[in-house]
Every structure is written in C-alpha cells, then in structure tokens.
Amino acid sequence: MRVLNDIFTPAELASLRTDGPIPLYHQLYGLLKQRILSGVLARDAPLPTEAELSAGFRISRITAKRGMDLLASDGLIVRRRGRRSSVAYHPKGTEPDAPLVGMLARLAEMSRETKVKVLNIDLRLPPPNVAAELGTDAHEQVHHVVRVRFDQQGIPFAYYESWTRGIEHGFTAEAIEQRQRFDIMAENGHRISHIEQLLNAASASPLVAELLELHAGDPVLTLVRQSFDEDGLLIDLLNCQYHPDRFHYRMNLSAEEYLA
C-alpha cells in the first residue's frame, strides 16, 4: 500500500462515488490521469497494482483493471505482465520565460484579494518522484499542504496541493491562511529567486469537483509550479487545479521576449 499512499491523500482514497453518473472505473482513471498530467507521477514512475487500487479505493479488481486499461489506451502508462505498470507520459510543448518580479507581484495581489482555507497540513515522507525532484533523502519529511482558494464572494476557484522542504518553524494552517507562503519560506532561510511553471489541462476528480463546485470529469486548468531558492534548491512543488470559468491565466511578454 506504500505506493498508493504516496500518491493519494486519505480524502482522495475515500472520494469515489457510487451515486453519481460517472462509473467508478472512470473516476479512478481521472484521479490517476490528473496525477500523471500534473507531473506528480513522472515518466517511469511505478504505479499501484490492481490489487492495491482495489483495496485502497474499496473497489473491485475488475473496476481497477478497467481504469488502468483506459490509461494504457491513452498512452499514459505502460502495462507489464507480472510487474508494476509505469508512467509513459512525458510533457511536451514550449515553455516561455516570464519575469519573476512581476509573477511574485501578481501572486501577492491574488493573496490579498482572495482567501484560502487549509484542508490538511502535515509533515510526511513525499512520494518517490516528488522526493527525487526536491532532492530529499529517503528519511526526510516535508510539509504537505492541501488547500482551497476562494474569491471575495466566497466562491471556490482553486485547489492546491504542495510539498515544501526545509521549513522548521511558522508553517501552520493559521499562518498559511493569513500570509504568503513565500514569506514563511524566506523566514526559514529560503528566499525564492526562480520559478518554473507548467500549464496543462485535466479532468476534475470527484474530490476536486466537489470542492470547486464542478462535476467529476469536468475539465480543469492545471498548473505545476516549482519554486527555487537563491542556492538553486527546489524548495516548493505546488500542484494547482483551477475552475476554468472562475480563473484565467494571462502572461504579458514584450516583443523582444516573444521574438526571441
């Protein structure tokens, strides 16, 4: 069960619904697909077995198999008899650069004009591929935070899951709801100097759909943000999912940047 618990939170493991219009196998497919497209499950990462999926989500082996078969038919995973399936997907596309100063200013503005509620925060061992990206060893725990962001009218528009290393103090639910996380990181000796982002699209899992007032399987805009400190260390890995009708992502590039 370790592989399964590395990938999903307890709330996600309990999120499959038998009383909705979407079959269980397709809900499972959506959850795994989101993890793959967002980069949480990187290329060649091992996947849970059908037996582990069946036990963890309390579904039948046939349901688990149908969900995995869908991923394989999409070319997202490789199925191997007698061995764990693994991720085959690798993101493609251009990655334009944007000034960090302007990005941080926009994030600060969003923080001031919206509210965030922490759903879960704990210190835990990250999934193997997240640990590899963060550069942590096998025994180093990091802060795992799940939260939802609301606009000024209290309407939810974003679901966040983050993994943050090197934090010794000040990383509490109350602080995260009231302050920018980058300020807390700086107070712990990690001033963010470089950010990389990857935009993509995915289907909303039952849990995310419920929190963002969508239907399971509806499209969501996904963003994976990697934040590096002045020493080049990856400090924070953030996976965002946005309600497509309530959030828009705009980039302003100069002519020189566009033509470069």
Q: pLDDT class for 242, splitting at 50, 70, 90?
A: very high
| Contact partners, residue 201, CB within 8 Å, separation at least 6 | 37, 219, 220, 221, 222
In this predicted model, which residue has the larger pLDDT, 148 or 38? 148
Which whole number is the average pLDDT over 4-13?
Answer: 81
Q: What is the mean pLDDT of the chain?
A: 83
Q: Model's pTM, two decimal places? A: 0.66
- Cα-based distances in Å from 45 to 1, 41, 64, 255: 15, 6, 18, 39
Which whole number is the average pLDDT over 176-205?
Answer: 87
Q: What is the Cα–Cα distance from 36 to 224, expressed in whole angstroms?
A: 12
pLDDT at 257: 43
pLDDT at 166: 93
pLDDT at 258: 41
pLDDT at 128: 84
Q: pLDDT class for 172, splitting at 50, 70, 90?
A: very high
Of 90-104, 140-154, 182-196, 232-246, the range with the lowest mean pLDDT is 90-104
| Residue % of the chain over a pLDDT of 70 | 86
Buried b (16+ CB within 10 A) or exposed e, 47-71: bbbbebbbbbbebeeebbebbbebb
